[in-house]
Amino acid sequence: MNEHVVTKEQREARLEGIGCKRKRVEDVRFTQGKGNYVDDIKLPGMLFGDFCRSSYAHARIRKLDVSKAKALPGVRAVLTAEDLKPLKLHYMPTLAGDVAAVLADEKVLYQNQEIAFVVADDRYIAADAIELIEVDYEELPPLIDPWKAMDQDAPLLREDIKDKMTGAHGARKHYNHIFNWQVGDRPATDEVFAKAPVTTKETFFYHRTHPSPLETCQSLASFDKIKGELTLYGTFQAPHVVRTVVALLSGVPEAKIHVIAPDIGGGFGNKVGVYPGYVCSIVASIVLGKPVKWVEDRMENLSTTSFARDYHMTVELAATQDGRILGMRCHVLADHGAFDACADPSKWPAGFMNICTGSYDIPVAHLEVDGVYTNKAPGGVAYRCSFRVTEAAYAIERGIEVLAQKLGMDSVDLRLKNFIRREQFPYHSALGWEYDSGDYHLAMNKAMEAVGYRQLREEQARKREAFKRGETREIMGIGVSFFTEIVGAGPSKNCDILGVAMFDSCEIRVHPTGSAIARMGTKSQGQSHETTYAQIIATEIGIPADAISVEEGNTDTAPYGLGTYGSRSTPVAGAAIAMAARKIRAKAQMIAAHLLEVHHNDLEWDVDGFQVKGLPEKRMAMKDIAWAAYNKGVPNLEPGLEAVSYYDPPNMTYPFGAYFCVMDIDVDTGAVKVRRFYALDDCGTRINPMIIEGQVHGGLTEALAVAMGQEIRYDAAGNVLGASFMDFFLPTAVETPHWETDHTVTPSPHHPIGAKGVGESPHVGGVPCFSNAVNDALAFLGAVHIDMPHDSWRIWEAAEKLGAHD
């Protein structure tokens, strides 16, 4: 045998394409401290900006005196709303169709709101100058409870729109009301509830939390007065959208705005929107002709940048006595804070909350959402989820548990009875979505077998008897969640941001020597795009992944794209990558056919090149085709080998999963021990199993944090009580349990490679799983529902109220 013969399997292994556990190429620079973040960038003559912020949640500014700050040596400028008004920049548009104050104009609406922007030679001088700013406040009554926002005597918050009774999404009911959004068939749903043998109704509060990325939000603006060009570096999850917004705000032509997002230390939705720091650094640079950097500290990040959740969800289910769900009603009271700055597609004021029917074949449903203003920081980002999908999954999965409890039925059996069946796909939900594919029964049965579910229930029954006998003070909870997520925001028929359709893009250039560079409109914040994108290209065009460079984040070089958030990178950009690669492969086939002197239809693709059908020895490798594309003229073909694809998907994708959590709770201390956590995910085609596992581990850790203690709380005066890591729970290796991961594979039928996305899934499924475990344990004591977060104190308090300490 010829030892130099390379088998097909060996050639596939060399590519490190789809399905390969390829190591993250990004880690080479990160583990050596060679990453390049915004605060690593130093420009000649660079100045530093910082904010004077409000002490109050709701107050009128009687007087703002910045004279002493301006007089401090080293201070170059102090911007206030009065300075921004002539530029019409004291307010900026939000992604939700509202406007938000860049700097407080006459009134502050939440604690730590930006009042003045100091620009100085260094950060220390800026910090000293802030202390010299004198603000005289007239304190006003704060509105913290969203349930009181539309009371007749509620404090008026938004004086700038007090007489505007129509908002971006229709009529407003009250001066503190933002929108009312409804979807579904209300009359049919009401009729079902009127006749149903069994109904349940429970309100679930999904508390306000925060993505808290490792790197805070930052920007560095540099305006060249000679060229009239603005260069903006920043922590941007969607650089092209930021460029468009900056052009709209500043009046600088978009062609003269260069937005660069370098390495980003985590985003999780927190870095999608535009913040006052970005606007003020730009204005200061234009005015002063110097680069101006703004870097927020951790307290500013937690208390003022976009929050997540804060949804009060009243869920009703109608069912038969044997557990067949007949209908669903859901009402949401959404606390948006002082401005509606939710990062949702334009047509969806409550994001994709209408996925709240979950994985279940529910014939009729109705959803109603009311958004209101309060004296809290604005936001509403998709914290590791796709536009309110986590809230929707939590609502239905807690609702299923409450219904099971009322029926005296095992909640897994209730789920199995109501799952959408495999043969029903593509499935049209009662609230308007078309689920692409799934096999929910297969996934649940595999998960049940893996964890020994029936045996766990038997163990739980024995432990409950032991508790009754006084032999133990621990109660056992078994948490179950089965979620369907909707990701891949992109279909122009459904989604846009500020009128720009949410497509995505890829440009691939194959060089003469057989290597390639690919540029995308997305932006990684740790999702391993440089690794996995190259694997897609490797499989599609037969060039080893190690020979493919991936670039993102520079609007000068990358094609226009809508960025990375909501698990849209693989479903949308991944599809654009595959389509661009296939354009290249089609041209390569024409080149190979010419050189092999056959018709192009006589060629077939074989791992890393083309071969003549029936004559495998007559073949041409992609590396040789690349050389020929630049060096041998082919009739009727342009030289070169490159392609661009803009992909507008026909539908979203719908990953799903089955999660199980086993925990023990000490009723005397509220302490929780997570004994086991098993997560089965189905994300369609798996590009890199190792990276999927890492994404699941990270998402589950964040789910643990949110469910078990992570909360941004406010007192009655509007003071933020969770604005530092002393008070805001971030799990370490000590608190984080061992994660067991598993999978099934149900490819998306409309995606070019069948991929669905997975980065958000563990958070979406993990939060209700943890909460269900706690509630399952406390149900033994008589509880129906205990709200998150489930920290030890609240669990102890719930156990005490349920009589466990008697």
Q: What is the pLDDT of residue 561?
A: 95
Examine the pLDDT at 2 and tell me if it is beyond 50.
no
Answer yes or no: are the C-beta atoms of 590 and 602 closer than 8 Å: no
Residue 3, pLDDT > 60, answer: no
**Strand blocks (E) in 1-74:** 47-53, 59-65
The yes-or-no verdict on residue 789 having pLDDT over 90 is: yes
Across all residues in the chain, what is the average pLDDT? 96
Share above pLDDT 70 across residues of the chain, in percent, rounded to a whole number: 99
pLDDT digits (tens, 9 = 90+) for 733-770: 999 999 999 999 999 999 999 999 999 999 999 999 99
Using the predicted structure, report yes or no on whether residue 4 has a pLDDT greater than 80. Answer: no
Beta bridge mates, 718: none
What percent of the chain shows pLDDT beyond 90?
Answer: 96
- Provide the pLDDT for residue 736: 97
- Rounded to 5°, angle at Cα 551 from 547 and 556: 135
| pLDDT (average), residues 254-275 | 96
Q: Are 755 and 685 in contact (CB under 8 A)?
A: yes
pLDDT at 351: 95
CB-CB contact of 220 with 291 (8 Å): yes
Cα–Cα distance list, 330 to 179, 201, 311, 535 (Å)? 16, 9, 12, 42
Write out the catalytic residue numbers: 237, 384-385, 760
Give the pLDDT of residue 755: 97
Please report which confidence band the pLDDT of residue 349 belongs to, taking 50, 70 and 90 as the band edges.
very high
- Helix H or strand E encompassing 536: helix 529-541
**Alpha-carbon distance values, 677 to 91, 154, 190, 282, 305 (Å):** 46, 45, 38, 47, 32
Count CB atoms within 10 A of the CB of residue 673: 11
Name the pTM for this structure.
Answer: 0.97
Strands (E), 261-324: 292-295, 308-319
Distance CA 660, CA 732 (A): 21
- pLDDT at 679 > cutoff 80: yes
Residue 472 pLDDT > 80, yes or no?
yes
Using 50, 70 and 90 to split pLDDT, how confident is the model at 632?
confident
- Helix or strand holding residue 202 (H, E): strand 198-209
pLDDT in tens, 72-87: 999 999 999 999 999 9
Q: What residues are paired with 609 via a beta bridge?
A: 621
Q: What local confidence, expressed as pLDDT, does residue 6 receive?
A: 84
pLDDT confidence bin for 498, thresholds 50/70/90: confident
Dump pLDDT digits (tens) for 202-224.
999 999 999 999 999 999 999 99
Nearest-angstrom CA–CA distance, 203 and 332 = 9
Distance CA 787, CA 801 (A): 14
User: Could you read off the pLDDT of 99-144 as tens digits, one per residue?
Assistant: 999 999 999 999 999 999 999 999 999 999 999 999 999 999 999 9
* Crossing angle of the two packed helices 761-779 and 689-708, in degrees rounded to 10: 40
Q: Which of 14, 139, 162, 20 is nearest to 535 (CA)?
A: 20
Cα–Cα distance, 382 to 566 (Å, whole number) = 6
Quick: pLDDT tens for 353-392: 999 999 999 999 999 999 999 999 999 998 999 999 999 9
pLDDT score, position 633: 81
Work out the number of other CB atoms within 10 angstroms of the CB of residue 408: 7
Per residue in 291-305, pLDDT tens?
999 999 999 999 999
- Vertex 488: Cα angle to 484 and 494 (nearest 5): 100
Q: How far apart are CA 444 and CA 327, in angstroms?
A: 23
Q: How many residues does the chain have?
A: 806
* pLDDT at position 490: 87
Q: Is residue 1 predicted with pLDDT exceeding 60?
A: no
